Structure 1
Amino acid sequence: MRLRDLAELVRAPAALSVPGDTVAGAAAGGGPGRSTPGLAAASVCLYWGGMAANDWADREVDARERPRRPIPSGRVRPSHALLTAAGLTAAGVGLAALAGGRRALAVAVPLAGAVWAYDVRAKNTAAGPATMAACRGLDVLLGASGGRMRQAVPAALTVAAHTYTVTVLSRREVEGATPALPLTTLAGTVAVAAAAARKGPGALLAAWYAAGYGLAQARAAADPSPERLRAAVGAGITDLPTLQAALAARAGFPAYATAVALAAPLGRRLARKVSPT
């Protein structure tokens, strides 16, 4: 497959929202350390593997609803997508073990299992949003596996709550919805921002998150068409680093928070070339 087709298959730009999970978890668990870069790389591999598995599992539905995606368009063979998904998942688990040892492996294995469970089974069920939220929450805890994971649970729950809102919106990005759906997720976003906010840089970053993702949901509430809902889902992905940054700042690591926040504008620019959804 061509490089661009691979990038589209794994939603390459969306991976900019992933290292922030690791940093937020590490910050909440006592501070980033030597294992943090390796765990961030592991998270990216697991995320990309999940995206490839998602398209493989959805290939028949996409043939009807999204025929331009890599598999139904014929640009990527289903077998190649499955091999890509399996290879990236194995790489992610392996990198986690190398970077963080047994403690990281103990989180990476259930994380990988949750990702695949969502893609092949839970996505179109009532458990779908909660399963995807669990994936992101576990990803935050993976970042904290080198420190005190119990302290990182509030940060993991905050990112999980955000992910729940994005996933609920994504389930209607083909058919559209009523204004009640984006209004409900918008209320959830306000609550998530309030949970992440703190005086100083953390409050500013939480406000940035609420403004970016919240505005997209407000527009979807005014016009709950598939296009506006897809835009809101995209904003939920590309603006996630600002929430992760707020959590890192709240934990007392403003320099790391600044670095994570810079992924948000970069992600938005790249999303114009390769869709994150």
Structure 2
Amino acid sequence: MTNPRPDAGTTEPVPRGAGAHLLAWAELLRLPALFTVPGDALAGAAAVGGRPGSRTLLAVGSSLCLYEAGMALNDWADRGEDATDRPHRPLPSGRVRPAAALAAAGALTASGLALAARAGRRTLTVALPLAATVWAYDLVLKRTPAGPAAMAAARGLDLLLGAAASGGGVRPALPSAAALAGHTLAVTVVSRGETRGGSPVAPLAALAATGSLTWALTRGTASARTPRDATRVLCGALTAAYAATSARPLLHAALNPSPPLTQRAVGGGIRAMIPLQAALAARSGALTSALLTAALAPAARRFARKVSVT
């Protein structure tokens, strides 16, 4: 659920004056990345044949809370390292107190679990391991070899959260969860080189993963028994948008794995989650959910110009 490591090595000035406190919290919570979250639950509900309803909205609210809990906890856990490498971040710059960030993480986690409980016992059953994965990643697993897998598991569980909220079993949603988890795994591995750069191996592997997912989505669309040709066309367009958003910056990072290009590749991978989620929903025949998810992409791009998504 949390994003890969925040950007490093920047020397942005610390904002002052009116609105500085709100901007600090927006940076801490990485608000532009929040637009990549609702599509998880919508794609999960679509995978089991559910339509967006009150329980789906509760699942979306739970996802948003747990995601932002991970964002706040991420900076709290990294506050010592950020004091040296990223002193402009909200905590080391003093714009947000560490205790406030930790309290926010706890409150958001509790809120996320409460919303999941309102959506039903099945939803809470998925939300509990999701919350545990978020906290384990930020506090323990992030710098270990298990870190990327934990991040991938969190995203997969987030999609299953939407499936569980629909009231049925989550098994039909497992392929969609695996697709989203696979993309997340690739992006997270690439993110490990965004501070100091590295070899082209990780971007190339992520590029291969993008190609595999694109092929799988295209094949699934061609064989899907969708009620209208328009749904197939939409799924194809969304799949193409996913491939373009993810592949282009990855190719640049593979050719030159410098920190700036690697950071752009990570940002592109995060933004590519939106068309990927929309394509998964469209492949399941959920045209409305696909369009709702895809509509989040322009807002994500607009807000990313003001607050970094990574």
**TM norm. shorter chain > 0.5:** yes
1:194: Cα distance to partner? 2.1
Match of 1:13 in 2: 32
How many pairs are equivalent?
A: 276
Long gaps (5+) in structure 2: 1-19, 223-231
Match of 2:87 in 1: 67
**1:266, 1:177 → 2: CA distance?**
31
Indicate yes or no: 2:301 matched with 1:268: yes
How is 1:39-188 mapped onto 2 (pairs within 5 angstroms)?
39-98=59-118, 100-145=119-164, 146=166, 147-188=168-209
Checking the alignment, whether the CA contact within 8 Å between 1:65 and 1:174 is kept in structure 2 is: no
Checking the alignment, whether the CA contact within 8 Å between 1:53 and 1:85 is kept in structure 2 is: yes
Indicate yes or no: 2:23 matched with 1:4: yes
**2:287, 2:120 → 1: CA distance?**
27
Picking from 181, 195, 200, the partner of 2:216 is: 195
1:170: Cα distance to partner? 1.2
AA matched with 1:34:
S
**2:268, 2:21 → 1: CA distance?**
27
**1:12, 1:133 → 2: CA distance?**
20
**CA RMSD after TM alignment:** 1.2
Moved over 6 A (4+): none
Checking the alignment, whether the CA contact within 8 Å between 1:158 and 1:195 is kept in structure 2 is: no
Checking the alignment, whether the CA contact within 8 Å between 2:245 and 2:271 is kept in structure 1 is: no
1:38: Cα distance to partner? 1.3
Long gaps (5+) in structure 1: none
Q: Secondary structure at the match of 1:42?
A: helix
Query: Greater shift after overlay, 27-36 or 110-119?
Result: 27-36
Q: Secondary structure at the match of 2:95?
A: coil
Larger of the two Rg values belongs to structure = 2
1:236: Cα distance to partner? 1.1
TM (normalized to structure 2)? 0.87
**2:195, 2:92 → 1: CA distance?**
16
